[in-house]
Amino acid sequence: MHTFLLFCKIVKYRFRSIIEYPGAFIGGLAAQWLAYGIEMMMLFLIVWNFGTLAGWVPEEVIFLYALWLLSYAIAASFTFNICRNFPQMAINGSLDEAFIRPMSPIVYLIATTYNLGYISHIMITTAALIFSISRLTVVWSVLNWFWLFLLIITGAVIQGCMMLICDMPALRTRSQSPTGMFFWDVNWWLIQYPISIYPRPVQLLFTSILPFGFIGFYPVQVLLGKQEGILPEITIWLSPVVAVMLIFITVLCWRGLTSRYESAGT
């Protein structure tokens, strides 16, 4: 409980630090709204003109995209800056500070590098989510609302953990990790669509080693009443399990990669 309260307090001060520069903050928000608004409109127009995408109607594709972007925005709020800073932490020894605090170093770093800029993504995707929910033919029971909430959280955890796992090798290599670059490209260009549009080997990859399918594609099917993919039906319920597994893998990677941390001269 203390760790949670401390985490929230660090984020609160980080928030206050960011809004010390209101011009930069508001300008950033406006730019993101414009960029993502156009991207979302383009996606909608493409799917609208195609009619369906591997059996997914435009509202469903927008719903999937909005969930992916929302969970990405929540994850990136906490992990984007830390991932970008890994090489410098190793080079200039700024990781030292995290090791002398009475809390988990990774939790400390996540809190102290919180990025408020992603609030623009969260706002625009929330609007897209409301739009798509209003047009979907889903019966919104309490359980469905709960599942929606859970899949946003698990999607964020999966994306956040995958970002950290892929970028963390930079602590050793001291430059941006190739796995990190790979993650950003795949996540950005391939995952916003239903993965059933890809060949079976790619689907298998996104369901196993790179579990991008569990961010949105599989769990969304619970709500949409679909059963697609290359694995048994239970797969659509597995996102929370994948999220927990990824947390463990992230912690293991962190421990392994920081065990031989060498700091830098002071």
Partner 1 sequence: MSQINLSEVTKDYKIRIRNNNRSKIADFFRPQYDIKRAVDNVNFSVEPGEMVGYIGPNGAGKSTTIKMLTGILTPTGGQVSVFGRDPCRNRKKNALKMGVVFGQRSQLLWDLPVQDTFELFKTMYKMEQGIFTKQRDRLVEMLDMSGFIAQAVRQLSLGQRMRANLALCFLHQPEVVYLDEPTIGLDVLVKERIRDFLKQINKEQGTTILLTTHDTQDIEQIAERLILIDNGQLLFDGGRESFHKQYQGTEFMIEIEFVNPTAELVHKNFRTHKVEGNRHSYWVPYSKMGRGEAISYVANDHPVADIKVSELGLEDILKNIYAE
Q: Which residues bind partner 1 (CB under 8 A)?
A: 2, 5-6, 9-10, 13, 16-17, 20-21, 94, 96-97, 99-105, 259-263, 265-266
| Residue 116 CB, nearest approach to partner 1 (Å) | 12
Nearer to partner 1, 141 or 266 (CB): 266
CB of 167 to partner 1, least distance (A): 21
3-state secondary structure the chain: CHHHHHHHHHHHHHHHHHCCCHHHHHHHHHHHHHHHHHHHHHHHHHHHHHCCECCECHHHHHHHHHHHHHHHHHHHHHHHHHHHHHHHHHHHCCCHHHHCCCCCHHHHHHHHCCCHHHHHHHHHHHHHHHHHHHHCCCCCCHHHHHHHHHHHHHHHHHHHHHHHHHHCCHHHHCCCCHHHHHHHHHHHHCCCCCHHHCCHHHHHHCCCCCCHHHCCHHHHHHHHCCCCCCCCHHHHHCHHHHHHHHHHHHHHHHHHHHCCCCCCCC
**Of 57, 40, 45, 190, which Cα lies nearest the Cα of 125?**
40
Q: At its nearest, how many Å lie between partner 1 and the CB of residue 83? A: 21
Q: Which is nearer to partner 1, 40 or 171 (CB)?
A: 171
Least spacing, CB of residue 129 vs partner 1, in Å: 33
Please identify, using beta-carbon distances, which residue of 57 and 103 lies nearer to partner 1: 103
The span from the CA of 34 to the CA of 40, in Å, is: 10
Is the CB of 104 or the CB of 115 nearer to partner 1? 104
Instruction: Give the residue with the Cβ less far from partner 1, 104 or 179.
Output: 104
Question: What's the min distance (Å) between Cβ of 118 and partner 1?
Answer: 19
- State the minimum distance, in angstroms, from the CB of residue 98 to partner 1: 9
Positive/negative CA dihedral, 189, 192, 198, 203: positive
Query: Which region, left, alpha or beta, applies to residue 232 given φ > 0 means left and ψ of -120 to 50 means alpha?
Result: beta
**Smaller CB distance to partner 1: residue 200 or 260?**
260
Q: State in angstroms the smallest separation of the CB of 254 from partner 1.
A: 13
Give the nearer residue to partner 1 in terms of CB position, either 98 or 158.
Answer: 98
